Amino acid sequence: MSDRVSVSKTYKMYVNGAFPRSESGRTFVLNDVEGNFLANVAHGSRKDIRDAVVAARGATNKWKSATAYNRGQVLYRVAEILESRHDEFVSLLQLTDGVSAKRAANEVSKSIDLTVWYAGWTDKIAQVVGGTNPVAGPFFNFSIPAPCGVVGIITPTVNSLSGFIATVLPALASGNTVVVVPGSHEAIPVAVTLGEVAATSDVPAGVINIVTGTASELAPILASHEDVDGLDLAGAGESRLELGRLASATITRVVDSDLRDLHDLKRLRAFIDTVTVWHTIGQ
Amino acid sequence: MSDLTPLSSLSSLEYAPAPESRAVVTVQDAYGHFINGDFTNPASSEQFATINPATGEHLATVAQGSDADVDAAVAAARKAYEKVWSTLPGSERAKYLFRIARLIQERSRELAVLETLDNGKPIRETRDIDVPMAAAWFFYYAGWADKLDYAGFGPQPAALGVAGQVIPWNFPLLMAAWKIAPALAAGNTVVLKPAETTPLTALLLADIIRQAGVPDGVVNIVTGDGRTGAALVNHPGINKVAFTGSTEVGRIIQSAVAGSGKKLTLELGGKGANIVFADAPIDETIEGIIDGIFFNQGHVCCAGSRLLVQESIHDDVIERLLRRVEQLRVGDPLDKNTDVGAINSAAQLAKIAELTEAGVLEGATRFSSSCALPSAGFFFPPTVFTGVEQTHRIAREEIFGPVLSVLTFRTPEEAVAKANNTTFGLAAGIWSEKGSRTLWMAERLRAGVIWANTYNKFDPTSPFGGVRESGFGREGGRHGLEAYLNV
Amino acid sequence: MTSVAAHGRPELPATTSRPVRIGSEHDLRSTLGGLSGVDAVGLEARAAKLGTRSLKQDTKRAAIDLAITMVDLTTLEGADTTGKVRALCTKAMRPDASDPSVPPVAAVCVYPDLVDVAVRTLGTSGVNIASVATAFPSGRASLAIKLADVREAVAAGATEIDMVIDRGAFLSGNIGKVFDEIVAVKEACGAAHLKVILETGELVTYDNVRRASWIAMLAGADFIKTSTGKVGVNATIPVTLLMLEAVRDFALETGAVIGVKAAGGIRTTKDALKYLVVVNETAGSRWLSPDFFRFGASSLLNDLLMQRTKQATGSYVRADRFSGD
């Protein structure tokens, strides 16, 4: 045992580039897998979701109008910071996910590599899903992927690190901003720490927002929010049906499949709207 | 100025009636559903009439599809999927689709006349647009059937199974083609429900599908109103729902399908902004505004129903536009010289009239063509509102009729802000000779389709569909396959 | 702006509202600079759409007769002779020897040295005598020679002069020269009507055609004409539509009504009727008169006669029923 008293972390949320407590002032106790006290976690509320969506909406223009090259570099920077905190995540995963040191290390490495994989997609996705269309007439016609805007994500309840990366990174790589609700209480510590990663990489404020709390309480607020354009319900479990219904009020795009493949082109395509432009050709 | 003596002149070229003959079409007294390769006797005795909206004439009696009819159609589609269609190589499926394309071309006159009779749209449009494009859609997707491995969705993308498809009345045959062609190419079988006011060309397409020798049950067509559509969408035996129609119904369908595992694509309403800059090619722009709002009587989800004009040329544009609106020939849809035909139904006419009244009451200035309207049938004069503000209902709600709302803007940024100030996002137009600004606008407009110096153009190779509350998923092009593949 | 009452019809201004005065090349450039660009795709699509209009029965009969009265019956060959021009003039006055109800054409169009033959043959028939001048068709001569060409034709009795613009000057940006030449030719015409040939096939772009149309109108043209008939691309429906837009806009701007002549390549009744539809729906009914619209053609006339007879009798007729010229 160490002979000094460690400085323990306050688990706050991550909204608009800052680390606020819940506006409600509520917290709840989070224990590790052994049942030891880990933290008093911010218990996010309806208004916290509101603030996070406002922040995400405010960041959409900056993020989508950044060059794809620039977005790729920013996401690659996330991987760099993750790598530098490799050991911290290994320790954390042992406490929250209850996995062995070896499995945790593997999980962290895999997540970093996945981040690099998605970072590389930012300036390639348009060529893969877009292109020119040979219409029968004197028109130049091309299709480009446009991010649909603000995406709400309920992260998977298991594998808190790779689950977060595998749902959040595709939405970011395609140019969306996100409001993330950890799918389970166990997933919160990793999510909060990933907020710190975001804050210390070059991700612009508001692009990633993380609201901690109880997913079953926060998800319906997110799903029914009119200014949320897409929803990834990977960690929503049984409530998907109800959340999907709420989303239908504003024709929100919904992904309600489990996370099967970490390298998921379906998720990369999910929050893209194909925009097709016609222009006349003439001298 | 002239010292030439006029030798002869016409005061104006009053075109004599030039009606297309309807003898080419035989309309039956009554129709059943097309299930498992045959027209069947409906399970329920409930029927309804479909009329010619240009005259009020009764055309035929059509069956109201019951739950039992939908059950039978889905069962037929399931059986066809499992026993036949999914076992056929893509190259064989392709040949059926090519045959359908050719048969549509062969029977194009018949289809055009029937579409005009049942829908009220001008024969010039059914002849030159709806029918040839329906054939082109089958022709295009036929070629994909044996090339799905190369469509960019990974190797051997799988079909979904049975697709339930619900289509609107504004492009009855064309929407059937947009739905059926990619579904079949991707290896699915379908149950399609045409709109209750325009079922006849879908039923003629069923006959074409029979002539093409398409295996029984691969395409099933069940007629009926919204109840039939609901039965189809909610049916547990389907794997896919494709809907084109109003945002209101789209919400209900999305809600109904939520959590069911059915893949969903929605093509919903719009309030398209047609944006005219001071440097626009003015004469072509005026034509584009006309095409944007009066094509198909404005019964177009992507209609350019909000005209945003740069303030510096507002008066000139309006003067030219109104002069042009006066020239539109409104009347008998079967007349080859008719530009604007009949409104599809009494209900739609009432809705257009109601919103037009609202525009007047809200203080916008109404101009309607002084053209004479036929005494029978459902007609509405081409109408332009000037002085429209963004708060007006006619600037926010989809009118789905020949009514244009004109607003102004000062700068490109303001044009983008006004264009995007809607919950819809289907289409937009940009008129300018300045390429860099056009692309700047295209990057910022929230719309799935953007037409620059043109409007209301469609092509089977070109993805079409909306953003936001105009729906999701694309029809057309490689993208259109995604809706019917398990990818 | 034209006042528009609710449900009312916007009206053309009755008289000159804003005369455009061109006092300098700067004025000319700034006027042309205010012209809108032309989108080729949109223009051609509009032309094609108008081409689908269907003229039937009485409309078709009236349109055929109108088209006949709009023909500038033309012979512009190196091999033209007195005999050829005399035959042409006879045909112009009475296109169908067997049917006196067929109206005469608007004019004959010949080279300057044959104008006197036309004058003698046409007499007081009312058929006008148009002569190409200004070193037709290339226009590659000095202004002095061009003006002499015009004066000779007018002196010989030409009532209409079809001049060519200096395309070289236009394409090299020397629009002042183009303008000044037209002004000078107009003056040399005296009472004769001036048709200004743009030779659109050599201007190539629609933007050029619009600008050249305005230069000609501002300089005093009574008609603007598409082509000489001597280059690869002559009258087309889109070009004619564009020129009709120009005369319409010029009339709205100044009150002056300028005519349009489509010349070269129009051979069939079907085509001629398409042109009339384009006139009707672009410039309007005021232009549906030989005062303001002409066809520069030769073989078109016989096809109009064949279709006219077919409309009257219901049977198709053979070409030999009518005289060659």
- Asked whether the beta carbons of residue A245 and residue B258 sit closer than 8 angstroms, the reply is yes
CA angle C218, C223, C226 (to 5 degrees): 105
Pairing of strands B427-431, B273-276: parallel
Residue spans of alpha helices (H) in chain A: 46-65, 68-84, 86-96, 101-121, 125-129, 160-173, 188-200, 215-224, 240-248, 265-270
pLDDT at residue B12, as a whole number: 64
Is A276 within 8 Å of B464 when comparing Cβ atoms?
Answer: yes
Mark whether C162 is an active-site residue.
Answer: yes
Contacts of B41 (CB under 8 A, 6+ apart): B32
Is A136–B259 a contact, with Cβ atoms under 8 angstroms apart?
A: no
Q: Are C40 and A139 in contact (CB < 8 Å)?
A: no
d(CA C158, CA C110): 9
Residues of B carrying an active site annotation:
267, 301
Residue A2 — very low, low, confident or very high, per pLDDT cuts 50/70/90? low
Distance between CA atoms of residues C94 and C108, nearest Å: 12
Which residues of chain B are under the pLDDT cut of 50?
Answer: 1-10
- The arrangement of strands across the sheet holding B365-368 comes to A131-132, A139-147, A272-280, B449-452, B427-431, B273-276, B306-310, B403-409, B383-386, B365-368
Residue-wise pLDDT for A169-223, tens only, equals 999 999 999 999 999 999 999 999 999 999 999 999 999 999 999 999 999 999 9
The residue ranges of every structural domain in chain A are 27-280
- Tell me the residues of chain B between 394 and 453 that have a Cβ less than 8 Å away from chain A: 423, 425, 435, 438, 442-443, 447-453
Q: How far apart are the first and last CA of chain B?
A: 72
- For residue A16, pLDDT beyond 60: yes
Is C37's Cβ below 8 Å from some Cβ in A?
no
Neighbours of chain B (3+ CB pairs under 8 A): A, C
Residues 24-53 of B with CB under 8 A from A: none
Contact residues on chain B for A136, CB-CB shorter than 8 A: 136, 459, 461
User: In whole angstroms, what is the distance from residue C249 CA to residue C241 CA?
Assistant: 12
What would the two tokens of residue C257 be? 């009504």
Phi, psi for residue B106 in degrees, rounded to 5: -65, -35
Q: What pLDDT, on a 0 to 100 scale, did the predictor assign at position C2?
A: 34
Query: Tokens standing for B168?
Result: 């609107």
Nearest to B339 by CA among B291, B307, B405: B291
Query: In a 3-state reduction of DSSP, which class is residue C235?
Result: coil
- Under 8 Å CB-to-CB from B261, ≥6 apart: which residues? B239
Fold classified for B30-268+469-482: Aldehyde Dehydrogenase; Chain A, domain 1 (3.40.605)
Q: Which tokens hold the place of C15? A: 């008289």
Structure ipTM: 0.95
CA dist A252 → A152, A219, A235, A262 (Å) = 10, 14, 17, 23
Q: Which amino acid does the sequence have at B37?
A: G
Interface test with C, best of B2, B3, B5, B9 (most C CBs within 10 A): B9
For B10, the token pair is 């016409």
Could you say which of B2, B124, B433 has the minimum Cβ distance to residue C291? B2
Residues 6+ apart with CB under 8 A from B436: none
Q: Which residues of C touch A283 (CB under 8 A)?
A: 40, 204-205
Q: Alpha carbon of B44 to those of B235, C19, C314: distances in Å?
A: 18, 74, 54
Which residue among A137, A244, A279 sits closest to B259, beta carbon to beta carbon?
Answer: A244
Q: For B146, which DSSP code?
A: T
Largest CA distance in chain B: 83
Q: Known catalytic residue: C56?
A: no
Q: Which of B430, B449, B386 is nearest to B288 (CA)?
A: B430
Q: What is the pLDDT of residues A251-274, one digit of tens each?
A: 999 999 999 899 999 999 999 999
Residue B2: what pLDDT?
Answer: 35
User: Which tokens go with B60?
Assistant: 């035929």
CA gyration radius for chain B?
Answer: 23
**% of chain A surpassing 70 pLDDT:** 99
Classified as helix, coil or strand, B435 is helix
* Superfamily grouping for domain C55-312: Aldolase class I (3.20.20.70)
Q: Could B14 and C59 be called an inter-chain contact, meaning their C-beta atoms sit closer than 8 Å?
A: yes
Task: Dig out the tokens for C162 from the structure.
Answer: 């079809």
Contacts of B15 in chain C (CB under 8 A): 53-56, 59
Distances, alpha carbon C245 to alpha carbons A52, B12, B299, B347, in Å:
56, 17, 30, 40
CB B178 within 8 A of CB B140: no
- Our CA-based measurement puts residue C207 at a distance from the nearest CA of chain A, in whole angstroms, of 9
Q: What percent of chain B has pLDDT over 90?
A: 97
**Cβ contact, residue pair A282, C39, below 8 Å:** yes
Contact B200, B28 (CB under 8 A): no
CATH topology for the A27-280 domain: Aldehyde Dehydrogenase; Chain A, domain 1 (3.40.605)
Q: Which of C162, C222, C271, C303 is catalytic?
A: C162
Asked if the Cβ–Cβ distance from A248 to B255 is below 8 Å, we say yes
Q: Has C146 been annotated as catalytic?
A: no
**Contact between chains at A139 and C41 (C-beta distance less than 8 A):** yes
**Distance, CA of A240 to CA of B412 (rounded, Å):** 41
Q: Are A177 and A57 in contact (CB under 8 A)?
A: yes
Chain A contacts in chain B segment 137-176 (CB below 8 A): 152, 154
Phi/psi at C193 (nearest 5 deg)? Answer: -80, 140
Rg of chain A over Cα atoms, rounded to whole angstroms, equals 19
**Which of A277, A280, A281, A283 best probes binding to B when mutated, by most B CB atoms within 10 angstroms?**
A277
State whether A138 and C204 contact (CB < 8 Å): no
Question: Which chains pack against A, by 3+ Cβ pairs within 8 A?
Answer: B, C
Confidence (pLDDT) at B5: 33
**Band of pLDDT at residue A10, cut at 50, 70 and 90:** confident
CB contact under 8 A, B283 and C2: no
Q: What is the pLDDT tens value at each position of chain C, 325 positions in all? A: 333 333 333 333 444 444 567 889 999 999 999 999 999 999 999 999 999 999 998 999 999 999 999 999 999 999 999 999 999 999 999 999 999 999 999 999 999 999 999 999 999 999 999 999 999 999 999 999 999 999 999 999 999 999 999 999 999 999 999 999 999 999 999 999 999 999 999 999 999 999 999 999 999 999 999 999 999 999 999 999 999 999 999 999 999 999 999 999 999 999 999 999 999 999 999 999 999 999 999 999 999 999 999 999 999 999 898 988 7
Interface of chain A toward chain C, CB-CB under 8 angstroms: 137-139, 280-283
Task: Say whether the peptide bond before residue C137 is cis (omega within 30 degrees of 0).
Answer: yes
Task: Kindly identify which residue of chain B lies nearest to residue C56, measuring between CA atoms.
Answer: B16
Maximum C-alpha span of chain C: 62
Homologous superfamily of domain range B273-459: Aldehyde Dehydrogenase; Chain A, domain 2 (3.40.309.10)
Instruction: List the one residue out of A169, A185, A159, A187 whose CA is nearest residue A232.
Output: A169
Min Cα–Cα distance to chain B from C1, Å: 6
Q: What is the C-alpha to C-alpha distance for residues A207 and B314, in angstroms, rounded to an integer?
A: 40
Of A143, A245, A253, the CB nearest to B472: A253
Test C41 with A280 for CB contact under 8 angstroms: yes
- Identify the CA nearest to C170 among candidates C224, C145, C207: C207
Domain boundaries, chain B: 30-268+469-482, 273-459
What are the chain B neighbours of A269 within 8 Å (beta carbons)? 482
**Cβ pair B270, B400 in contact under 8 A:** no
**CB-nearest partner of A248 from B251, B442, B451:** B251
Other C-beta atoms closer than 10 Å to the C-beta of A260 total 9
What are B241-256's pLDDT values in tens digits? 999 999 999 999 999 9
Among A119, A33, A14, residue whose Cα is nearest residue A72: A119
Please indicate whether, in this complex, the C-beta atoms of A281 and C41 are within 8 angstroms of each other.
Answer: yes
The Cα B91–Cα A279 span in angstroms is: 34
Q: How far is A138 from chain C (nearest CA, A)?
A: 7
pLDDT of A72 over the 90 cut: yes
